[in-house]
Structure 1
Amino acid sequence: MREVDDLSLLVGAAHEAGDIARRYFRRDPKVWDKPGSAGPVSEADLEVDAMLHDRLIGARPDYGWLSEETPDSQARLGTDRLFIVDPIDGTRAFIEGDPSWSHSLAVVRGGEVSAAVVYIPVSGKLYAAARGQGATLNDAPVAVSGQTELTGAAVLGTRANFEPWHWAEADVPEVRRKFRSSLAYRMSLVAEGRYDAMLSLRATWEWDVAAGALIVTEAGGRVSDRRGAALRFNNAMPQVNGVVAAGPVLHEELGRRLV
């Protein structure tokens, strides 16, 4: 099965990415700001990006390529399959010495994710999924939590997601709000069942969430944009309209409460 073969490729590439990134972590890597207030980037991001491109495209030369750290090419829009990667998701955390950064790698076919890996090198946690094959953490199956009530749920998201204007009648839910720098890691923690939901209620780059979307779905959860629409990837502008991920019942409740 092609999805399983692609997943094996992603797993090997993620481990190699971790080997590179760990050499720089907490060792004062060179850092600079990207143009247009697009945030910081480090020499580790670029070395990981170059390795991933060489390894993945070398193995699948007919696949397209979309990465946070590679100039975008519209040629990817004409490909049936493509890689969507974030070499280091949570670069600010990486630079600051916070261990909650990840490598996020996905294969997309026809706008849907077919294979995905999110790897957290510092803790050695590797989340993986292939379409129709379930989701795993270090090869053990994972499943989303059974939480059905939004009140009291553990929800990953920034403070901005809980401003009153995002919620019907300004009724902000009473949740246990948590945070991790990497969006891909937040989604994986929902898939693992350690947290009940995650929210990102602004335009979100595809490379931040493509891998996590499949991992949550294969763990039995639901993922949508902030309006409840299914996520589609390989868009001309590679963004989605926010992300909501949770178990099915809690996801439905979030859909009723968000505006």
Structure 2
Amino acid sequence: MRFWRNDPESWDKGGDAGPVTEADLAVNAHLELMLRAARPDYGWLSEESEADLSRLDAEHCFIIDPIDGTRAFIAGQEGFSHSLAVSTGDRITAAVVYLPARDQIYTAYADGPALMDGQPIAVSTRSQMQDATVLTYRAVSEAQNWKAGQPPPFRREFRPSLAWRLCLVAEGRFDAALSLRSAWEWDIAAGSLIAQRAGAAVTDRRGTDMRFNSPRAAVDGLAIAGPILHRLLVDSLV
């Protein structure tokens, strides 16, 4: 927070990887020092760390995005988060998404409840696409993405942090989150478990269960919503 709204140094990572700031690197260094000291046998996968494929041989792996929503952070907006998850094998088993500017925290663990600020949360029960609120980007609405040749009659909204989008679905403030683009694991690992434990169906864009700590460290898009709405969305996509 000492960097936020204080003109942090920032630069572009190149290769369409987007911007990074000195705050991203400082948070990453702090988390790595703290977490790896506590669990030295865990693997490490972070957006801001050099690739270390030894993580693929670890039973457990930290999957971290030090600041998700870096553009919002640079702009002085509140919609950025820290996304921290633990995978066991290829499944996420513990998750935290924290929005420091809002002092709001979402948590979940395998077989436990999804919580926001310590209180249980649950996904929307909406069962039709008419007027559903979907957190996604503009290009999703292009006609070629939909079997009917036009997008369903949902209302599209956007939030800068992908991890936060998944949590907003988990708490029922929005009905779904959808992306047809490949999603990096560090962006979605924590939010995917929080949404799942809140009752959402959580898959890639094809309706296939997500797998984590993969060699590519990415998932083929995402579709996250209550079970009925999720099936409607996935079945409507090309």
Give the TM-score range, shorter chain: over 0.9
Instruction: Tell me the residue number matched to 1:16.
Output: none
Q: Distance in 1 between matches of 2:226 and 2:14?
A: 38
| 8 Å Cα contact 2:135/2:176 also seen in 1 | yes
Q: Distance in 2 between matches of 1:228 and 1:30?
A: 40
Residue 230 (structure 1) aligned with residue 209 (structure 2)? yes
Question: Of residues 129, 134, 138 in structure 1, which corresponds to 2:108?
Answer: 129
Q: Distance in 2 between matches of 1:191 and 1:106?
A: 16
Instruction: Tell me the residue number matched to 1:242.
Output: 221
User: For residue 78 of structure 1, what is the amino acid of its counterpart?
Assistant: D
More helix by share: 1
User: For residue 96 of structure 1, what is the amino acid of its counterpart?
Assistant: A
Question: Of residues 150, 154, 161 in structure 2, which corresponds to 1:171?
Answer: 150
Instruction: Tell me the residue number matched to 1:161.
Output: 140
| 8 Å Cα contact 2:85/2:93 also seen in 1 | yes
Q: Structure 1 length normalisation: TM-score?
A: 0.91
Give how far 1:151 is off. Answer: 1.4
Q: Distance in 1 between matches of 2:41 and 2:92?
A: 17
Instruction: Tell me the residue number matched to 1:24.
Output: 3
User: For residue 133 of structure 1, what is the amino acid of its counterpart?
Assistant: G
Give how far 1:200 is off. Answer: 1.1
1:1-259 aligned within 5 A: 22-259=1-238
Q: Distance in 2 between matches of 1:73 and 1:35?
A: 20
Instruction: Tell me the residue number matched to 1:5.
Output: none
Q: Unaligned regions of 5+ residues in structure 2, if any?
A: none
Give how far 1:36 is off. Answer: 2.3
Instruction: Tell me the residue number matched to 1:3.
Output: none
Deviations 1:194-216 (A, max 9, x none): 00000111111000000011000
Structure 1 moving runs of 4+ over 3 Å: none
Give how far 1:98 is off. Answer: 1.4
Give how far 1:65 is off. Answer: 0.2
Give how far 1:173 is off. Answer: 1.1
| 8 Å Cα contact 2:141/2:150 also seen in 1 | no
| Percent of pairs with identical residues | 52
Give how far 1:57 is off. Answer: 0.6
Deviations 1:64-100 (A, max 9, x none): 0000000111111111100000000000110011110
Q: Distance in 2 between matches of 1:169 and 1:249?
A: 19
* Aligned residue-pair number: 238
Q: Structure 2 length normalisation: TM-score?
A: 0.98
| 8 Å Cα contact 2:142/2:150 also seen in 1 | no
Q: Distance in 1 between matches of 2:14 and 2:178?
A: 27
Q: Distance in 2 between matches of 1:49 and 1:209?
A: 17
Q: Distance in 2 between matches of 1:35 and 1:251?
A: 34
Q: Distance in 2 between matches of 1:70 and 1:31?
A: 16
Give how far 1:47 is off. Answer: 0.2
Give how far 1:253 is off. Answer: 0.7
What SS class does the counterpart of residue 216 from structure 1 fall into? Answer: helix
What SS class does the counterpart of residue 55 from structure 2 fall into? Answer: helix
Q: Unaligned regions of 5+ residues in structure 1, if any?
A: 1-21
Deviations 1:224-245 (A, max 9, x none): 0000000000111110000110
User: For residue 51 of structure 2, what is the amino acid of its counterpart?
Assistant: D
